[in-house]
Structures are given as structure tokens and as C-alpha cells.
Amino acid sequence: SNLPLPPGPKKLPVLGNILDLPTSFEWETYEEWGKKYNSDILHLNAAGINLIVLNSIKVTNDLLDKRSAIYSGRPGGVMVLELVGWNWLFLTMGYGDAWKERRRLFTRHFHSSGTSVHRPRETLFVRRLLAQLLDGPSKGLELTREMIGGITLSLAYGINIRPSNDPFIELAEHAITGLAESATPGLFLVDALPFLKYIPEGIPGAGFQKKARQWRELQQRFRTEPFERTVKDMADGTAQPSFVSEALDALEGVPDAKRRREVIRDTAGMFFAGGSDTTVSAIHTFILAMLRFPEIQAKAQEELDRVVTASRLPEYADEVDLPYVSAIVKEVLRWRPVTPFPFPHLLIEDDVYDGYHIPKGSIILANSWAMLRNEEDYPDPDAFKPERFLKDGKLDPSVRDPTTMAFGFGRRECPGKAMALASLWLTAASILHTFEIVKPLDKDGNPIEPDMKYSSSLVCHPIPFKCIIKPRSQEAERLVRAVADNTH
């Protein structure tokens, strides 16, 4: 093409920008570069690989949404993922038939009966969480992580998850730690240096080889063990309804059943792989924000007391009458995005945009972090301010909804969005209604302030912090125990 590439930092021969590329909190550097080069679309080159960074909602919508037929690939042959063997997750698959088949299977499960598939199970697990918090007020972070793991595994496999130390949750957690680490955006650059692949394990600096071997073993167990358990439970007649049981039932008499069974097995893995760490990150940010801003917590509790009253727990049907709680959920997703850089897309054909040539094979990085903090839509973006979404006591539809950016874009948009929002909303409403989130005290009786730091990875988490989640009143404690007794 005779057209120029989008602007970006000066490139060295062969290496391109590889020496300039940030390896942590990349989204912040790319936002700064956007300002420096006065462009919402940037071009970088990592030793021959074209990277296109999109820093605004307009450019991202124009390309990833409106031209999604050519912007929905995934960078193939990501070496680290291949080494660990995660290519069976459809999150990592290119835009082709294998991806389409799995994505269709996944979404059909939720579309057929909508929210009734996941909400009852989410309600059960959230209520169980409340009872567990009574006995472990300082274990909020661990208990919410186990709860989300339980919801995703239960919906995928119908396995009866133990309230704590469940072996399937532990296996899945360990396996996904490997995925999260190996999929960190900076590590994509290892692909630009393919010789790293051949360095023997013992050599210093090649530690990732050894890690990759351990991660591979866990990945293989995660792929098969929970699925085989459901198959066994179905044979014994003890299986609870789940994605796997319903999809396998529908296979009766279908040709090609062996291959399809493998497709079902691998699609089921996406529930935990896509839905666990992400939703946990959002819930932990919610807890952190409530700890840091007690006045916002109190306002939400005032709303809950008025609408739900102390005699019962919040339910999904209350959502429309609890705009402040809903605004908190939106602000959680905006203020500290779970995936500041969603999983990269790949452009599968040459394209032209705004007078720029965008080469086929470019890796597209949509900077959700920059979009969710743009000052035009969200003045004073650093502040945690649920009020920005409200007008006259209602959600204000004229304020851009962060959920249109927090869950990715185009045909690759997160298919678990509704489930994630439901889990997050009910957890937030239920904890706020019955508990108070407070800072623990040090030995001198002073409150321990959370340091508000975050990890830099594909899925970002607050660095673990201390908090106490204690019942708001004896009445609240009695209510939680009574409901828990009825749920078991």
C-alpha cells in the first residue's frame, strides 16, 4: 500500500520498537503515546510483528465492531500458549469453523432459557457465601474466589462443589494460574524471539520452559478430569443438570458423536477458564472500593434498607429498584478494569482506516483502560463515583455504559457477560445488605489502610489486602443463618 501506517514511535531496523515496548501496565504507556503522537490509533513493530493499538471508543467501534468480519481473529501460534497446550480453549482460536462451532455451543446453552440457566445457581452460591462469611470474616477474598469457582464449575459440569477445599476448584485454579501467567500480553513478545523456545530447561533465564512443562500437566488434567466426572455421574444417574449433561444428552443418535463429545469437553473448560479469575477480580475490586470509601457503602446500605428491608435478602427482581447498587457495579468495572487490554484480536485482511494502511496479520490491542477512563464520558476518571451513572435517582441512560467496553468487542465480545454481571450484582447487593466491610486494626488499634495496588497481567487483580466483613446487625446474622439453613 502507498498509504502510511498509523503513527508511532520511531523503529529500529529489524528490531522495530522491541526495545521501547513496555512489559508491565502497557495500557498506561500506550495511552501516553496516543497523546504524544496525537492519534487514537498507533502502529508499533515488534521485530516484524505489526501491533496496532486502539486508544478510543470511536476507533475501536469502527474497527472491531463495524468491521468485525476481518478483525475477529486471534494471534495464532502464540508460542507460550502452545508450549503449555492451551490451544483447545476457543478464546485462543482463530476466526474459523472450530471457533464458531464452540462459541455457538456455548452461547446456545444460555440463549435457550436465558437467565434462568444461571441465576438460580448463582443465588444458591451467593447465599452459601454469606453464611461462610459469618464464620470467616477475614477470609472474604478467598471465600469469594471459591464461590465463583463453584458457580462456574457447577454450571459447566453440575459437579457438587464442596463448600471449601474442593479438589476440582483447586485443580482448576492451579491450571488457570498457568494460563494467566503464560497469556500476559508482554509474553506475546516471546514470539518475536523464537529461539527462546529451543533453550534447554536447565539454562538460567529459560525458567519458563520448566514452568511450561508443569503448566502443561495441570492444563491436561483440567481439560479432562471434571468432564469425565460428569460422564460418570450421568452413567450413575446422579448428575445435576449442567452445560455438559445437556449437550451430551443432545448428542443421542447424532453422527460424528466422538468428535462432538470432545468439542463439548473443551467448550465446558471455557466456563472456568473465562469466567472465574475475571469475575473474582471484579468482586475483589468491589470489596476494595467499599473498604476505601465507607460513605459509598453506607449510601448503598441506605438504599437496600429502604427497598429490600431487613426481613429478607436481595433478589434479582430488586435490581430495577436498586440503581445505586447497580451504579456501584458499573463503577467497579470502569474504575479498575478487569482486562485493561482484552485478549488481542488479529486482522485477517489488509485494511484502510482514516487514510492509514493497516496490514493483514496485525495484532490489535484495544486499550479498554484508556477508553474507560476518558474524561469526556467520565470526568475525574480516577475518582470512584457511582453517582456519575445516576440522574434524578435513576440510572442515567445518557452516560456511556462501561459494560460496552469492559467485556471486549465485536464478534469476540465476552459470551459470559450476562452471567458475570449477574454474579457481581447479586454478590455486591447481598454483602452490602447484610454485612459491613471494614478495615482491620493494627496492634495499636489504628485501621490498616489497603495500599490500592494492582497486578499487571491479562486479568488484573488488586494485590491481596486485609479486610473484615462482619454482620451489620444481629438481625442480619439471623437472616443469613436462616436462609442458609433453608438452602442446604
Q: Closest separation between CB of residue 296 and ligand HEM, Å?
A: 20
Looking at the Cβ atoms of 407 and 435, the one nearer to ligand HEM is 407
Q: Closest separation between CB of residue 295 and ligand HEM, Å?
A: 25
Looking at the Cβ atoms of 45 and 152, the one nearer to ligand HEM is 152
Q: Closest separation between CB of residue 460 and ligand HEM, Å?
A: 10
3-state secondary structure of 41: strand
Looking at the Cβ atoms of 155 and 308, the one nearer to ligand HEM is 155
C-beta of residue 314 within 8 angstroms of C-beta of residue 430: yes
C-beta of residue 463 within 8 angstroms of C-beta of residue 453: yes
Looking at the Cβ atoms of 283 and 479, the one nearer to ligand HEM is 283
Q: Closest separation between CB of residue 351 and ligand HEM, Å?
A: 17
What distance in Å separates the CA atoms of residue 279 and residue 281, rounded to the nearest whole number? 5
Q: Is 467 flagged in the annotation as binding?
A: no
Beta bridge partners of 43: 52
**DSSP output for 152-183:** HHHHHH-----SSS-HHHHHHHHHHHHHHHHT
C-alpha 159, offset from chain centre: 22
Report residue 393 as a C-alpha cell.
435517582
The CA-CA-CA angle for residues 72, 76, 77, to 5°, reads: 170
Looking at the Cβ atoms of 33 and 243, the one nearer to ligand HEM is 243
Determine the longest span between alpha carbons in the chain, in angstroms: 73
Q: Closest separation between CB of residue 218 and ligand HEM, Å?
A: 19
Report residue 235 as a C-alpha cell.
452413567
Looking at the Cβ atoms of 84 and 308, the one nearer to ligand HEM is 84
442: left (phi over 0), alpha (psi -120 to 50) or beta: beta
Q: Closest separation between CB of residue 99 and ligand HEM, Å?
A: 6
Q: List contacts with ligand HEM (CB under 6 A).
A: 90-91, 103, 106, 152, 270-271, 274-275, 278-279, 282, 338-339, 342-343, 345, 406-409, 412-416, 419-420
Report residue 287 as a C-alpha cell.
470489596
Q: What are the residues whose beta carbons fall under 8 Å from the beta carbon of 331, sequence distance 6 or more?
A: 289, 384, 385, 386, 388, 389, 402
Burial of residue 486, with CB atoms counted within 10 A of its CB: 0-12 exposed, 13-18 middle, 19 or more buried: exposed
Report residue 170 as a C-alpha cell.
483447586
- 391 DSSP assignment: E
Looking at the Cβ atoms of 271 and 369, the one nearer to ligand HEM is 271
Q: Closest separation between CB of residue 432 and ligand HEM, Å?
A: 18
How many C-beta atoms lie closer than 10 Å to residue 371's C-beta?
29
Residue set of the binding site: 414
Binding site as annotated, residues for heme: 414
